[in-house]
Chains A and B, each alone.
Chain A
């Protein structure tokens, strides 16, 4: 930085977000929100190749109000006989508001016996969690849950 900061306005201009007066700290900048929504859409399109995704068969279980967004237990199960002729080949979990949309992609087959996975995810902000299953006949099914994520009451700013 070669220019000298001589006025408060110039100083404040260096601090991103400060000039957006009145915006709540936890709310995403609308531009960033739009970018993330677009990224989610692109991710879904990459998974499905543009084919339609129908709601159903998939059950996504995640608490509607999380204790802490750093570690959110979730599980996905898909109603499928898991036979050679009719089984789930993949389960994808995505979020709406995270900096990138993917959480996990699991690849299964008839040897799974049941289409069911459990894991723990990071969810950055209140929004949807989405599970998409690909079946052996090439069809896609999904479920989504809206999750409320609050910040910790006192932030420690990296204090250890």
Chain B
């Protein structure tokens, strides 16, 4: 990440992700559904601090990412239809929630409940796949810092999601980025919300434990 890109990320007033945050704030306060409930009706000011740093989460034997949790709230609490993955609304609200954890350390626990999902995510990270027969770890563990074509290979810690990616000229989710990587190695692009994708997200966040969340980050 160049100093110029870093400066865009640090610009909290006119950084490129600002509109998603503003939309997210508006949607957070918007009353919806038969009970006229907004997110803000249940979640008071400051209540989202630290939340995104602990997602994905394992509850009732299932692993759930932040996008899915928002939709659980919408369908089960607000009684309204879920937002589509990668829709403007879902990106805006998850960016708004995750921003509340900006500068807080990522904290995913490896315990009895999370272990099976983390093991699955770790296996996926280390598994060679796709027509190029590459595993995530070959680039992001063994060759980070080196260049692939003109780009520097990062360690792939998801500290800034939802992220403003210059390549997209828009904010996007971690799943969008992972699908892009899978496409790049010519592997099956898992569908949004697929269990395997959320397990991989969980593992990647655990792997980044202790690192500070930077949402919304700006990256090439």
Which residues A58-76 have CB closer than 8 A to chain B? 63, 65-68, 70-73
A129-B159 Cα distance, complex, nearest whole Å:
33
Binary contact readout A142-156 vs B (1 if CB under 8 angstroms, 0 otherwise): 000000001111111
Which of A66, A151, A160 has the most C-beta atoms of chain B within 10 angstroms of its own C-beta? A160
Q: How many residues of B contact A (CB 8 A)?
A: 27
* Shortest Cβ gap from A159 to chain B (Å): 5
Q: Are A73 and B180 in contact (CB under 8 A)?
A: no
Find the B residue at minimum CB distance from A157: B183
Q: Are B4 and A67 in contact (CB under 8 A)?
A: yes
A154-B183 Cα distance, complex, nearest whole Å:
8
Q: Is the interface of A mostly helix, strand, loop or mixed?
A: loop
Which residues A34-77 have CB closer than 8 A to chain B? 63, 65-68, 70-73
Query: Interface range on chain A: under 10, 10 to 19, 20 to 34, or 35 or more?
Result: 20 to 34
* Shortest Cβ gap from A77 to chain B (Å): 16
A68-B8 Cα distance, complex, nearest whole Å:
13
Q: Cβ of B5 < 8 Å from any Cβ of A?
A: yes
* Shortest Cβ gap from A149 to chain B (Å): 9
Interface residues of B (CB under 8 A from A): 1-2, 4-5, 7-8, 16, 86, 148-151, 153, 166-167, 169, 172, 176, 179-181, 183-185, 189, 219-220
A-B CB contact pairs (8 Å), 25 listed: A66-B2, A67-B1, A67-B4, A68-B166, A70-B167, A71-B16, A71-B166, A72-B4, A73-B4, A120-B16, A150-B149, A150-B151, A151-B150, A152-B149, A152-B151, A152-B167, A152-B220, A153-B148, A153-B149, A154-B148, A154-B184, A154-B185, A155-B184, A159-B183, A160-B86
